[in-house]
Amino acid sequence: MTRPTSRDVATAAGVSQATVSLVLGDKWRGRVSERTAGLVREAAATLGYRPNLAARNLRLGSTRTALLVVPALTNEFFARVYTGAARIASAHGFGVVLYPSPEGTGPARDPFASARAALDGVIASSMAAGALDAIGGTELPLVMLDSDPTAGRAAAHVNLAMADGMRQVTRHLLDLGHRRFLHLASAVDSWTFHVRAEALAALLGPHAQCRTIRAPLTVTDARTTVEAALAAPGERPTAIVCDDDILAAGACKAARRLGLRIPEDLSITGFDDLALATAVEPELTTVRLPAERIGEQGMTALLTVLEGEPWTAPDIPVELVVRDSSGPAPTP
């Protein structure tokens, strides 16, 4: 079976090859109508046409490849970020290479002998400021996701409304009568977790007690940390606010080991709304983060920067999902 050509697409859509090139190269705005662009894309999809990117890259001096740097591959959140970024990239003839940093959120080594030769831009999700300096130096456009908007050399930032998410979950628990809180914070030193901690402290203020403990992002570490905290002398908290669903799952295991009922004796909340949130019993009250959307917007931001245009956008909204792990504060 012969591979369809741009001429085949042009014939099927009833347009010129130049128009096909404009549309599939994403250069059509202001030159081709929305209707015509739609006809070309539909014809290309029907025929199974794929541009010869290797030949086009030689002409343009561009690889049409973005690098997505994440702290880890084991976290579902980053897999969903990749899915969103790859979806937008594919629609624009780009590819996305996924690179888990060996140092987590810290400095990432350059995975290529020459980043400039291999990449058009870098997207970094939840990485520390300056962590990407080794990748492309200051030459490559950089888009930072879920990162400090005031730090680093990024050409664009895309953030979720993390502080608002923590405010939503905290107000939910306060409305249920909780006044003794335990904050199970991530041991990862990153901007996104600092924002959550600041929002929690600001909303509780002098009206409630809150103790903070930290644990690595594993269920086992969270369980042992929370077990020790709940078994310590003094008044037991009535609610545990966790920085992440993985930490919340560990907190649930700790509560059960100590014979505590959730939510009758202890309410527990998470953050992210991973698949894990509905796999535990009771299901987790958590903050849903639209990970695919931040990936989509990150890739869109990079494409905008590559076109020489500035990028600005408000934080992406997040949503509290109330399930069975939170309930009224127990009566003294």
The DSSP code sequence of 230-269 is HHSSSPPPSEEEESSHHHHHHHHHHHHHTT--TTTT-EEE
CATH number of domain containing 167: 3.40.50.2300
pLDDT at 132: 63
331 located within any domain: no
Separation CA 23–CA 27 (nearest Å): 6
Q: Across the 332 residues of the chain, what is the mean pLDDT of every consecutive 10-residue run?
A: 76 84 75 86 83 46 81 88 94 88 55 58 80 61 90 87 97 97 94 95 90 96 97 94 97 97 98 95 97 95 88 93 97 80
Judge contact between 286 and 130, C-beta under 8 A.
no
Question: Quick one: pLDDT at residue 130?
Answer: 64
Output the pLDDT for position 115: 47
For residue 42, which of 26, 29, 28, 23 has the smallest C-alpha distance? 23
Q: Tell me the CA distances in angstroms from 192 to 110, 147, 161, one per residue in order.
A: 24, 6, 10
CATH code for position 10? 1.10.260
Could you tell me if 179 and 209 are in contact, meaning their C-beta atoms sit under 8 angstroms apart?
yes
SS3 category, 209: strand
Same domain, 281 and 295: no
Q: Residue 53: its pLDDT value, please? A: 47
Give the SS3 label for residue 90. Answer: helix
Which of 112, 147, 123, 120 lies closest to 70, judged by CA? 123
Which one-letter DSSP state was computed for residue 276? Answer: G
Q: How far apart are CA 146 and CA 298, in angstroms?
A: 10
Residue 72 is encoded by which pair of tokens? 């880890």
Same domain, 268 and 168: yes
Q: Distance of alpha carbon 241 from its chain centroid, rounded?
A: 20
Task: Report which of 114, 123, 59 is spatially closest to residue 95, judged by C-alpha positions.
Answer: 123
Which pTM does this prediction carry? 0.77
Mark whether 269 and 218 lie in a shared domain: yes
Shared domain for 115 and 141, answered yes or no, is yes
Q: Is residue 324 part of a domain?
A: no
What pLDDT score does 111 carry?
55
The pLDDT score that the predictor gives to residue 55 is: 43
164's CB contacts (< 8 A; 6+ apart) are 199, 315, 317, 318
Does residue 154 form part of some domain?
A: yes
The parent domain of residue 127 ranges over 63-160+291-317
- Report how many domains make up the chain: 3
For residues 154 and 39, membership in a common domain is answered with no
